[in-house]
Amino acid sequence: MDRHTLHQFLKKFFLTNGCQLIEEKEGLLHFLLTPELDEELMNRPFYWRYKKRLGQEGDPMELTLLTDPNETAEKAEHIHFGSPRLHKIFRLIRDSAQVARLYEKVDTASRTPLYPWLIRNMSVHFSGKRKRTETHSVGLQLLNGQLETDWMENFSQVEFKQQISDQCYCLSPIIRYQSGYQRISSYMHTYLDTIDDSWVKETKDTLKQEEDLLAHFFDQSAQEELEEEIREERAALYKNELDAVHKRLVPSIQMETINAGIFYLSEETARKLFHKKEA
Amino acid sequence: MQVHIKDDKPFIDMMDDVLQQEGETASWEHFQMAYTAAKETNIDTFTGLVAPGYLPHMTFHPHQLEASRRVVEEMNGRAILADEVGLGKTIEAGLVLKELMIRGLVKKVLLLVPASLVNQWVNELNSKFHIPAASQRKQYVWEHYDVIVSSIDLAKRSPHREIILEQDYDFVLIDEAHKLKNSQTKNYAFIQSLKKKYCLLLTATPVQNKLSDIYNLVSLLKPGYLGSYKQFKDTYGDDRRDAEEHHYLKELIRKVMVRNRRGETGLQWTKRKVETIWIDFTEQERLVYENMQDSTSAAATFAKITLLRELCSSREAAYLSMKKMVEENPETGNAYLPVMKEIEKLPQHSKALKVVELIKAAPPGEKFIIFTEYRATQFYLQWTLKQHDISSVPFRGGFKAGKKDWMRELFEKHAQVLIATEAGGEGINLQFCSNMINYDLPWNPMRLEQRIGRIHRFGQKKDVQIYNFAVRNTLEAHILELLYKKINLFERVIGNLDHILAELQVSDVEKEIKRIFADSRSEGEIKVKLDNLTAVITETGEQLERDKLHG
């Protein structure tokens, strides 16, 4: 995320959460927070607890963020990728937008049907000797089972509303979204079968080596005539070490849903966007 | 793919609950932003370090990046970091930890460091790495914070011990790990029994005395890696001088240990230019000095040596010490009060005037750091410089972190001189300044090395000019001529000085030297004893060079 994108991202975040923009210039954003965001972001739980106990409304603070590292301003803080403040904001956003039910905004005079889609966004964690995480966005049309990838990327320019547009009506899904969710999982399994899995073999080889080393080390010492107590201690140590090795080196893949939703979409928009993609 | 795939089943139930309720759900903007936030934080590659990109305010040196990369990629997060002093082991460790945290491999962290460094670790992790570390002070901290810094002595005591042993740590770090070289100690057993997924051991001296030192360290990280103890002893013996012979052992160790040496870092170290500035006491000053030296009265010898040192620094330092002694012990008044009277009469200290002269002669704006051992001297110098229109800021180790940064910034942007007391020697980098005045010399070579290290480090672009001030025919002259010049400390970086001192088992060099001065009856005797000390330091250093585990 470059800093212009970050700037726009933050601006959108604070504005859509009802904060008042006091000042904006290149590389600087100055907001008056809402009480809710003050409580979440500003780290002053006692203030808010006392205010609530007294039955008073609190005065939310102002916050000035610098998205340009070269910029300076009074009482301002630099925000960048990796700063704790930004990660707090990311966390807030993720927690507050896990599930959506949204309708495409359609300007039409005639009756228009909207088709239901299940959109599932996922982080796929590959844990081996090292770790990496892929991001996937998969959409499934809940009438005919059509499946599309990179859904969020493709639909980023389409407008969706929390209320249905005039003249539009929703078609009922044939596929329940619970089974739709499952279908997307199956699709992911198929996908995972096709990608490079040399990391799994590497990890398993290392795991084997380290298990052997441990067995050798603890076995050698056990041969000497040890007292009962010491033997038990050694056994506990062995278990400890083996657990640690397994935690580091048993390969696994974990699918974590970032968020998901039911999106109602006109046939025309769907056709236009997926056609464009194929072209 | 031959691997277990875990699906996110709870999510669909949660989603079902939310959609059953007819209320409003997330807006399109927020839904998109949540996806973006996740996507931006997901790291789609197994290799390479991503942490530096998260820390734009930090500049890492190539050898630090490479060390951290090797620990994460090749050593799988279990390693000994054994860089020589001053190359940034702490930075490398912080980078490794940050990388593992960003990749979601580490959450619960325990760092065991010397008690005196707990706060520094906490500060550095927070300010340099944005890692929310807390220091262990209260019992509850163990369970409530994810990243804890503690001393090993505190951690191994009840009730902390029991709590810690119950925790599943993802990452354990031990600073000054050479203290764990003996596997028969309680500390060793304690560390061994910690549950730890990843583990870093930091030490500048991985092999101190015996080859088994390294065996014991490695066994904490990777039990079995070097075989059983008996096998190890049978194969390699225990004389560390033999390490050189065992190429196979060296290879093995290289796979679990990173060791950067100054010479190998590819850094162009700027030169150190050293100049001694001799000062002659005025007749009046010399008289006071000699009176004090000759006094055989109540003054204890140790105290006398301290006072003489102080007199070489400033009237104020000596005066305040005497005043305190008299207050604490009125009987000493007979001895000290007359001297204090004489001191009161002294005009400006010759040494301070020399400082003014030196700074005035430098090009305008040329910055200087003055180190002194005494607070009283610090105040006096500040006053003296002000009298001569030279701007200065004080610096002490006792300053809070914020004030330290502020003083550093004042110095960089507005003042010509920074006057630091000994305690200020650690913890700040002042490489934008290349002139250093040792107004008085510490009696511990380690502390002198640390002083010089403030300015002679990465980022220093100019040659470093060191001025050593010493008053002729005093204790100072002995220390300079007989201790520091002999071990050649000023010109070269003695990377393993701490190691040498540890080897000599001279835990307190300053006391050792004081004893030499106190116990000697003549100048000649002082000279002989100091000569012996420096000879041993030099030889041990050379011996260690030869014994180095890797060439």
pLDDT by residue (tens digit) across B37-77? Answer: 999 989 988 888 999 988 888 889 889 999 999 999 989 89
CA distances from B328 to A50, B293, B321, B324 (A): 50, 22, 11, 6
Q: How far is it, in rounded angstroms, from Cα A7 to Cα A80? A: 10
Look at A259 and B24 and tell me if their CB atoms are within 8 Å: no
In chain B, which residues have their Cβ closer than 8 Å to the Cβ of A133?
42-44, 103-104
What is the distance between the alpha carbons of residues B297 and B120, in angstroms, rounded to a whole number? 44
Q: List the structure tokens of B338.
A: 């007359």
Rounded average pLDDT over B480-485: 77
| Residue numbers of B between 292 and 351 with CB closer than 8 Å to A | none
Instruction: Give mean pLDDT, residues A186-201.
Output: 94
Q: What is the pLDDT of residues B376-392, one digit of tens each?
A: 999 999 999 999 999 99
Which residue did the predictor score with more confidence, B498 or A42? A42
* Backbone CA torsion sign across A201, A205, A208, A214: negative
- A207-236 pLDDT, tens digit per residue, is 998 888 888 777 755 555 667 777 777 788
Give the domain ranges of chain A.
3-96, 100-279
Interface A:B, Cβ pairs < 8 A = 220
Indicate the pairing of strand B417-421 with strand B392-395.
parallel
Segment among B97-101, B157-161, B387-391 with least mean pLDDT: B157-161
**Cβ atoms of B384 and B313 closer than 8 Å:** no
3-state secondary structure at position B436: strand
Predicted local confidence at residue A169, as pLDDT:
95
ipTM reported for the complex, 2 dp: 0.93
What is the mean pLDDT of the segment spanning A28-48? 91
Per-residue pLDDT, B172: 96
Residue with tokens 């007391």: B421
Question: How much of chain B exceeds pLDDT 70, in percent?
Answer: 85
Query: Cα separation of B89 and B207, whole Å?
Result: 17
SS3 assignment, position B431: coil
Pairing type for strands B78-81 and B109-112 reads unpaired
Partners of B198 in beta bridges = B171
How high is the mean pLDDT of chain B? Answer: 83
Q: Which is more confidently placed, B550 or B329?
A: B329
Reduced to 3 states (helix: H, G, I; strand: E, B; else coil), residue B423 is: helix
The residues with which B164 forms a beta bridge, in sequence order, are: none
d(CA A58, nearest CA chain B) in Å: 26
pLDDT of residue B148: 92
pLDDT at B550: 43
DSSP letter (8 states) at residue B239: B
What ranges in B167-203 are assigned the alpha helix state H? 186-193
Which residues does chain B have within 8 Å of residue A89's beta carbon, measured at their own beta carbons? Answer: 37
Which residue in this structure is represented by tokens 């220390």? B479
**In Å, how far are A197, A249, B2, B43, B45 from A201, measured between CA atoms?**
7, 11, 9, 21, 17
pLDDT score, position B280? 92
Q: Which residues of chain B lie closer than 8 angstroms to A249, CB-CB?
A: 76
Grade residue B425 by pLDDT with cuts at 50, 70 and 90: very low
- Kindly list the distances between the CA atom of residue A226 and the CA atoms of A229, A230, B314, B520, B532, in Å, as whole numbers in the listed order: 8, 6, 65, 55, 49
For residue B16, which residues of chain A lie inside 8 Å, CB to CB?
Answer: 177-178
A178-189 burial, b if ≥16 CB within 10 A, otherwise e?
eebbebbbebbe
- Output the six-digit token pair for B269: 């170290």
Q: Which of A72, A213, A217 to mutate to test the interface with B (most CBs of B within 10 A)?
A: A217
Q: What is the pLDDT of residue A174?
A: 96
- Exposed e or buried b for every residue in A146-170, given b needs 16+ CB within 10 A? eebeebbebbeebebeeebbeebee
Mean pLDDT confidence for A153-180: 94
* Number of other CB atoms surrounding residue A43 within 10 Å: 11
Cβ separation of B5 and A255 shorter than 8 Å? yes
**Three-state SS sequence of chain A:** CCHHHHHHHHHHHHHHCCCEEEEEECCEEEEECCHHHHHHHCCCHHHHHHHHHCCCCCCCCEEEEECCCCCCCCCEEECCCCCHHHHHHHHHHHHHCCEEEEEECCCCCCCEEEEEEEEEEEEEEEECCCEEEEEEEEEEECCCCCEEECHHHHCCCCCEECCCCCCEEECCCCCCHHHHHHHHHHHHHHHHHHCCCHHHHHHHHHHHHHHHHHHHHHHHHHHCCCCHHHHHHHHHHHHHHHHHHHHHHCCEEEEEEEEEEEEEEEHHHHHHHHHHHHC
**In the structure, what pLDDT confidence band is assigned to residue B549 with cuts at 50, 70 and 90?**
very low
Cβ(B180)–Cβ(B191) under 8 Å? yes
Banded model confidence at residue B242, pLDDT cuts 50, 70, 90: low
pLDDT of B136 = 80
Whether omega before B223 lies within 30 degrees of 0, making that bond cis, reads no
Q: What is the mean pLDDT of residues B157-175?
A: 91
The helix or strand, by DSSP H or E, that contains position B4, with its residue range, turns out to be: strand B4-6
**pLDDT attached to residue A276:** 64
Within a 10 A sphere around the Cβ of B300, how many other Cβ atoms?
11
Once rounded to an integer, what is the mean pLDDT over residues A237-244?
88
Give a three-class secondary structure readout of B111-143: EECCHHHHHHHHHHHHHHHCCCEEECCCCCHHH
Answer whether residue B504 shows pLDDT above 80: no
Q: CA-to-CA distance for B158 and B424, rounded, in angstroms?
A: 35
Provide, as residue numbers in chain B, all residues whose Cβ is less than 8 Å from the Cβ of A210.
Answer: 222
Sequential DSSP letters for B489-523: TTTS--TTHHHHHHHHT-S-HHHHHHHHHHH-SSH
Packing angle of the helix pair B375-387, B350-361 (nearest 10 deg): 50
Report the distance separating Cα B293 and Cα B299, nearest Å.
10
Q: Which helix (H) or strand (E) holds B529?
A: helix B523-547
Domains, chain B:
51-264 (3.40.50.10810), 272-278+353-547 (3.40.50.300), 283-344 (no CATH)
Per residue, the 3-state secondary structure of B27-79, as one string, reads CHHHHHHHHHHHHHHCCCCCCCCCHHHHCCCCCCCHHHHHHHHHHHHHCCCEE
Q: Which two tokens stand for residue B256?
A: 């679990």
At residue B354, the 3 state secondary structure works out as: helix
Residue A61, pLDDT score:
94
Tell me the shortest Cα–Cα distance from B450 to chain A, in angstroms.
32
pLDDT value for A112: 94
Q: CB atoms < 10 A from the CB of A109, how many?
A: 7
**Which candidate, B312, B337, B305, B344, places its Cα nearest to that of B323?**
B337
Of B137 and B175, the structure prediction assigns the larger pLDDT to B175
Which helix (H) or strand (E) element contains residue B110? strand B109-112
B167 contacts on A by Cβ (under 8 Å):
none
C-beta atoms of A217 and B219 within 8 A: yes
DSSP for B282-328 reads: PHHHHHHHHHHHH--SSS-HHHHHHHHHHHHH-HHHHHHHHHHHHHH
CB B97 within 8 A of CB B171: yes
Query: Rounded mean pLDDT of B10-20?
Result: 93
Quick one: pLDDT band at residue B245, thresholds 50, 70, 90? low
Separation in Å, CA B369 to CA A272, B342, B385, B425: 70, 31, 13, 11
Q: Does B22 touch chain A (CB under 8 A)?
A: no
Mean pLDDT (whole number) for A230-259: 89
Whole-number Å distance between alpha carbons of B385 and B356: 7
Q: B483, exposed or middle or buried, with CB in 10 Å at 0-12, 13-18, 19+?
A: buried
Highest mean pLDDT among A103-112, B253-262, B292-301, B501-510: A103-112
Strand bridging mode A168-170 / A62-66: unpaired
CA distance A101 to chain B (A): 6
Question: pLDDT tier at B532 (50, 70, 90 boundaries)?
Answer: confident
Cα nearest neighbour of B6 on chain A:
A254
- Give the DSSP H or E segment for B408: helix B401-413
**Which residue among A89, A101, A258 sits closest to B35, beta carbon to beta carbon?**
A258
Pairing between β-strand B168-174 and β-strand B133-135 as defined by DSSP bridges: unpaired
C-alpha dihedral (B468, B474, B475, B479), degrees to nearest 10 = 40
- Report B:40-99 residues touching A (Cβ under 8 A): 40-47, 53-57, 72-73, 76-77
How far B7 CA sits from the closest chain A CA (Å)?
Answer: 5
Q: What is residue A230's predicted lDDT score, i.e. its pLDDT?
A: 75
